[in-house]
């Protein structure tokens, strides 16, 4: 029996637990002014967060790194409102949580502000075609300068990804790959990248730049171990990528996309079938989501 | 006779020309979500913008770089409201204009959005002590990764400057210096840097990273020429900085601060008097502001 659920999006701001169809932020919020904040984009399956602990861990790392003054009780109240809503309305949806350093007077220096929490619950339309058939990726011209002190975190400073995504939509591929200023493959615009070579799983080390995604962490910490696949975190050169037996990209919202076509590295088009290890990882990821 | 002026700040949003004591931004605004926008902070002297054309030039460069869809008539209406307000209320104040790519659904890729304009008119309290006595600067640990594709522009991705400013306020110096990942001196947290060596004016080339400030442009394009001072844009190493005869930092709001004390490069404290060329540039900058 399918329950009829109310339309999305809806919004929550700080302690306001009531459902709102609109939400606003003070113009003095430092998230807007300087990108002084972090965010999490979380997949919700039938009202439940499959990877809540992973998102919370990265969020806490971000808050600690930025040194934000943070009202723990207020945050718990904010989260409680969202859990309560999803318990009563078990959407399969996308929850986006933004935490900013709060409002302040003009000036980069953070003064005595307290973090603000903004959450939107967004509709999710299931379209698993790329999970099945695989996707095409192209190397973007936009480069991620490194090292940044917030490497691995998901801050509100995402202009590189906006510009890379702009390249992607102006052409005709499913995702864009981005390199670091040192010439290593770091990730896709909204996904992390893995490749398989001789049975070994390889993913870029993100200690210099990049967003360490939750699905990446799930694969590194759970799936690779459970499937007994050897895993290596290292710099990934374009040559290594092109020589890989299998390639896939992933995030926690759309899951795992096998990569079947790679372009942008010279004139050649590099094609490969969907790999067997990719399929195994995909199956296990799906089972964790539906657990 | 001093005119009694209404209190600040006040805010303008898009076409709303009426004075508002509060202003808000839609939570879906891409400026908040990703730092997908630019800003200008402009000094206003007795109701007039001394360097309006310079700010407009950088703003237009930023809009073109980001490829924003932009309603020119709306922007002109927005600016007209601000001019009108300042004509009737000739504050000496700080006008901050934020332009974002507008609201969109979740996702880095810019879809069919139209730019939003937000302006705040902020109080300015004159405190020219550092212009007179000079200031102390310290090298920050936070580093500016380079190259970024928006070098020179003033985007909403300013987390590096927030983190560097956080270092500054946690210690006891007037400004922080920031280096690039290549080890060159780029700027101060909210100011550009110049030094003088054997009568020649030197300022860092900002083609890899950094914000090309309006006062910097005024000095390069007008003041150096009018004072017949030879000018060089180049990489600035810490060694070059420490060997300079004069150092100053500047922005268009607080003008020119002579640097009299430099720390953070090893254990030594590097002191120097306020230089004669710095004073000449300062005098001319002030005359341009009051012209």
Model confidence band, residue B59 (pLDDT cutoffs 50, 70, 90)? very high
Both tokens assigned to B232 = 């060089």
- Mention every residue, 6+ apart, whose C-beta is less than 8 A from residue A287: none
Residues of B in contact with A41 (CB under 8 A): 106
Residues of B in contact with A22 (CB under 8 A): 26
Q: Is B155 on the interface with A (CB under 8 A)?
A: yes
Cis geometry, peptide bond prior to residue B68 (ω within 30 degrees of 0): no
Minimum distance, in Å, between the CA of residue A240 and any CA atom of chain B: 24
CA B128 to chain centre: 17
Give the mean pLDDT of B118-140: 93
User: For B177-226, how does the pLDDT look when each residue is reduced to its tens digit (9 = 90+)?
Assistant: 999 999 999 999 999 999 999 999 999 999 999 999 999 999 999 999 99
Chain B interface disruption, residue of A163, A169, A190, A213, most B CBs within 10 A: A163
Give the mean pLDDT of B29-49: 97
Q: Is B13 on the interface with A (CB under 8 A)?
A: yes
Model confidence band, residue B138 (pLDDT cutoffs 50, 70, 90)? very high
Mean pLDDT, chain B, rounded, equals 94
CB contact under 8 A, B98 and A32: yes
- Mention every residue, 6+ apart, whose C-beta is less than 8 A from residue A116: A13, A14, A25, A29, A31, A99, A100, A101, A102, A103
C-alpha B85/C-alpha B94 separation (Å) is 13
Q: Is B77 on the interface with A (CB under 8 A)?
A: no
| Positions in chain A whose pLDDT score sits under 70 | 1-3, 15-19
Residues of A in contact with B41 (CB under 8 A): 106
Q: What is the percentage of chain B residues whose pLDDT exceeds 90? A: 87
CB contact under 8 A, B24 and A27: yes
Give strand pairing partners of A96.
A41, A120
CB contact under 8 A, A147 and B33: no
Residues of B in contact with A153 (CB under 8 A): none
A-chain residue closest to B9, CA distance: A105
User: For B92-104, how does the pLDDT look when each residue is reduced to its tens digit (9 = 90+)?
Assistant: 999 999 999 999 9
- Nearest of B140, B150, B228 to residue B191 by alpha carbon: B140
Position B22 scores a pLDDT of: 75
Q: Is A116 on the interface with B (CB under 8 A)?
A: no
C-alpha A263/C-alpha A245 separation (Å) is 16
C-alpha A236/C-alpha A208 separation (Å) is 13
Model confidence band, residue B1 (pLDDT cutoffs 50, 70, 90)? very low
- Mention every residue, 6+ apart, whose C-beta is less than 8 A from residue B288: B50, B51, B218, B222, B223
Position B127 scores a pLDDT of: 81
Give the mean pLDDT of B113-122: 93
Give the mean pLDDT of B42-51: 97
CB contact under 8 A, A165 and B106: no
Q: Is B146 on the interface with A (CB under 8 A)?
A: yes
The minimal CB distance from B108 to the residues A11, A98, A161 is found for A161
- Mention every residue, 6+ apart, whose C-beta is less than 8 A from residue B249: B135, B137, B175, B187, B188, B191, B192, B193, B194, B256, B257, B259
User: For B256-271, how does the pLDDT look when each residue is reduced to its tens digit (9 = 90+)?
Assistant: 999 999 999 998 999 9
Chain B interface disruption, residue of A19, A22, A104, A108, most B CBs within 10 A: A108
- Find the farthest-apart pair of alpha carbons in chain B and give their distance in angstroms, rounded: 56
Alpha helices in A149-204 (DSSP H): 159-170
Indicate the range of A188-192, B79-83, B177-181, B277-281 predicted with least confidence.
B79-83
């Amino acid at each position: 029996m399918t329950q009829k659920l109310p339309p999305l999006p809806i919004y929550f701001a700080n302690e306001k637990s009531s459902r709102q169809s609109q939400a606003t932020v003070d113009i003095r919020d430092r998230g807007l002014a300087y990108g002084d904040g972090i965010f999490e984009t979380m997949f919700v399956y039938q009202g439940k967060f499959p990877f809540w602990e992973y998102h919370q861990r990265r969020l806490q790392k971000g808050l600690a790194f930025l040194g934000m003054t943070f009202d723990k009780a207020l945050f718990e109240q904010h989260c409680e409102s969202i859990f309560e809503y999803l318990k009563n309305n078990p959407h399969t949806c996308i929850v986006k949580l933004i935490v900013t350093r709060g409002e302040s007077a003009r000036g980069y220096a953070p003064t005595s502000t307290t973090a603000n929490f903004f959450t939107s619950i967004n509709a999710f339309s299931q379209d698993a075609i790329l999970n099945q058939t695989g996707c095409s990726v192209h190397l973007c011209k936009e480069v991620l300068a490194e090292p940044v002190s917030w490497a691995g975190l998901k801050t509100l400073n995402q202009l590189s990804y906006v510009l890379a995504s702009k390249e992607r939509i102006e052409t005709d591929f499913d995702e864009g790959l981005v390199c670091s200023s040192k010439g290593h493959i770091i990730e896709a615009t909204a996904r992390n990248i893995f490749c398989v070579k001789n049975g070994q799983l390889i993913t870029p080390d993100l200690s210099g730049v990049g967003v360490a995604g939750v699905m990446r962490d799930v694969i590194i910490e759970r799936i690779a171990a459970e499937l007994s696949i050897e895993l290596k975190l290292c710099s990934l050169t374009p040559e290594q990528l092109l020589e890989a037996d299998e390639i896939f990209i992933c995030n926690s919202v759309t899951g795992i996309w096998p990569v079947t076509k790679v372009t942008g590295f010279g004139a050649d088009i590099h094609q490969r079938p969907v790999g067997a290890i990719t399929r195994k990882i995909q199956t296990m990821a799906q089972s964790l989501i539906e657990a």
